[in-house]
Structure 1
Amino acid sequence: MSQKTPLHAHHLAAGARMVEFAGWELPVHYGSQLEEHRRVRREHGMFDVSHMRVIDVQGSGASALLRRVLANTVDKLRQAGDGLYSCMLNPDGGVLDDLIAFRIEEEDYRLIVNAGTAEQDIDWLSRQRAALPDAHPTLSPRRDLGMIAVQGPCAREAVWRALPGSLFATERLNRFQAAEFEDMTICRTGYTGEDGFELIVPGSRMTAVWEALSSAGVLPAGLGARDTLRLEAGMNLYGADMDASTHPYESNLGWTVDLTAGRDFVGRNALESCDRSKRLTGLILEGRGVLRHGMPVTTAQGDGLITSGSFSPTLNASIALARLPSAVSPGATVSITIRDLAQPARVTPLPFVRNGKILV
């Protein structure tokens, strides 16, 4: 049976179409996915992302454990509230999960991981902790917490209206920083390519916060808009654009790998000698149809594969992320077979859209 978030009744009352996603029953849209997408690009929208899982890593050896399991390094987190995006790798360099890590204080961290990999992540962290005899941090899955993402160019101002006093706590936050406000954590992060906040909220307070945002004029958006927004922003979806069989460099995530001398981490040896003959890049369909996950791509330099694809409301065209031979240059024309017809597509750098601006 699918799990339900504390806001499940609100979604039903708002007329949401519900779907199963990663073991959760979540809203895919509230009537118009297209309008929800456009509203976030031009103003703001809010998403129930309580399926994302929070894991607290605390106590002696917490830093040592995260230095071991993350391809990026928590040594970059200099002060309370600093965060970073990273992949957690297997020994072959494959991506077990992508996550955000925040420093709460010394030897106290909070991880935000994907719903579909959360239990595997906890097990992997436990096993890696056992390999560090002098590290004994606690791993605490926080099932008492939910998450609301408020995204868009006017999103922060909407949060400040909805939550009086939050302006003082959060107005100086940079991207990938977080601050405590009352009983919640407000993070300047998101999965849409727009500015905004992600609020980590006690489950018992989710309804009150959601209603306060609604009273401030923020309308809900579903998983459908979240997916097209993140695709336009060139952001990977775990299980589609990368997984345990792909490494960061072929998933456009080489920027998340820190190979600072002297720091060992699981998967480092594999990454230092990995095959980089393919990479993740963008496609814009110039023919007819819609690009979809799993479609093969034919190029002059060899075959590739679409990992994510959909219609882009902002570009008014079908776009995709595709893993292609690294020798394929931006601007090149490639071929995708759609309904037995070869259709041309143009290779483009990522992202397609950020902060409301078309970049291709």
Structure 2
Amino acid sequence: MGERTPLYDLHLALGAKMIDFSGWEMPLHYGSQVEEHHQVRRECGVFDVSHLCVVDVTGAQAQAFLRRLLANDVARLDAPGSALYSVVLNEQGGIVDDLLVYLTVDGYRLVSNAATRQRLASWLRQQAASFAVQLRERSDLAILAVQGPDARARLSAQVTIARAALIKELKPFQGLEENGWFIARTGYTGEDGLEVMLPASDAADFFNDLVGAGIAPIGLGARDTLRLEAGLGLYGQDMDESVSPLVSNLAWSVAWTPGRDFIGRAALEAERDLGVARKLVGLVLEERGVLRAHQAVRVEGIGEGEITSGSFAPTVGKSIALARLPMAAGERAEVEIRGKWHPVRVVNPPFVRHGRILI
């Protein structure tokens, strides 16, 4: 039996198909993955993402610790509530994890992946040993993500007046606390939306209230196709310790602040100076078929690559993928599907943003 979020029994009561996801029993869908995908693109839905790991970092050297730990620079966070995305690197420049970090009144809050929970916790403790910091994993919290163009309005109608006022004021990539609830305006779908970190003891009742108000529950299946259309990488598929952010379409998240010696910087500088050999791009299959992870890709006269994530994209109406290809790859390539080569178009992700098809 895997780990369970506080909403496990409610998922069963709602008819969810449950699967193992990184050691957690999570809902894949509640009847139709495709309909749940469209629900988020067109209106909004609520996800249980309580399997994510939340760690609060406090202490006199919290900023110095995170400036050493992260490839992005938390010194950029200029006011409580501001947030940024970053990768955590090893000394070879490989990605240990990717996460969100929020500046809080007391320090910083990290929100990272379920799959890396134990490995990242060990890495954090190891690196924190040289700093005056305290790490607190917040297993007392649950996380609900309400995503879609109607998310803020629909969620505001289900919370207190004070929390509704906070939601109205939130800017993208900002998160603020109100009476024990931490509400952030980020997301993993390419749509506007909110994440609510709240006491685990309150989660089931609040989730039930949202569903009762007509906000549809959404499973991991739609979460994956939504994030793929948004061109957002998944740890363990599109990035891991064997690749750097420079070949994972994440160079933008590396802050080359002069004099800041973050873990992995020397390796990244060497890769950058030598010339980055590969890139993560989008693929669109213009004919019938489905693109899947690990399918081979070839670019005539250039070289070969591999799909890292692929699926049928309900909004686009075609099969799409993320793939790591030689840097010199142009606008056309071929993918091997069941022993036959099929032409694909090479594009820059995202494929969809705020409901609009971009490719």
Shared fold by TM > 0.5?
yes
Aligned position for 2:285: 285
Aligned position for 1:97: 97
Please, what TM-score do these two structures have when normalized by structure 2? 0.97
Q: Which amino acid aligns with 2:254?
A: V
Q: Which runs of 5+ in 1 are unaligned?
A: none
1:146 lines up with 2:142 in the alignment: yes
Aligned position for 1:58: 58
Please, what TM-score do these two structures have when normalized by structure 1? 0.97
Equivalent residue of 1:116, what SS? Answer: coil
Distance 1:125 1:19 in 2: 29
Aligned position for 1:117: 116
Matching residue within 151, 154, 159 for 2:155: 159
Aligned position for 2:226: 229
1:268 lines up with 2:249 in the alignment: no
Q: Which amino acid aligns with 1:353?
A: V
Equivalent residue of 2:119, what SS? Answer: helix
Distance 1:212 1:82 in 2: 29
Shift in Å at residue 170 of structure 1?
2.2
Shift in Å at residue 339 of structure 1?
1.2
Q: Which amino acid aligns with 1:143?
A: S
Q: Which amino acid aligns with 2:38?
A: R
Equivalent residue of 2:123, what SS? Answer: helix
Aligned position for 1:305: 306
Shift in Å at residue 182 of structure 1?
2.5
Q: Show the 5 A alignment for 1:162-201.
A: 162-165=158-161, 166-201=163-198
Equivalent residue of 1:112, what SS? Answer: strand
Give the alignment's Cα RMSD to 1 decimal.
Answer: 0.9
Aligned position for 1:333: 332
Q: Which runs of 4+ in 1 moved over 6 A?
A: none
Distance 1:159 1:89 in 2: 36
Distance 1:119 1:221 in 2: 26
Q: How high is the sequence identity, in percent, across the aligned residues?
A: 50
Aligned position for 1:8: 8
Aligned length: 354
Aligned position for 1:259: 256
Equivalent residue of 1:273, what SS? Answer: helix
Distance 1:230 1:58 in 2: 31
Post-superposition Cα deviations, 1:226-270, rounded to whole Å, max 9, x if no partner, equal 000000000000000000000001000000000010111000000
Aligned position for 2:294: 294
Shift in Å at residue 47 of structure 1?
0.4
Equivalent residue of 1:220, what SS? Answer: strand
Distance 2:218 2:154 in 1: 15
CA contact (8 A) 1:170 1:179 kept: no
Aligned position for 1:351: 350
Shift in Å at residue 123 of structure 1?
1.0
Distance 1:7 1:16 in 2: 11
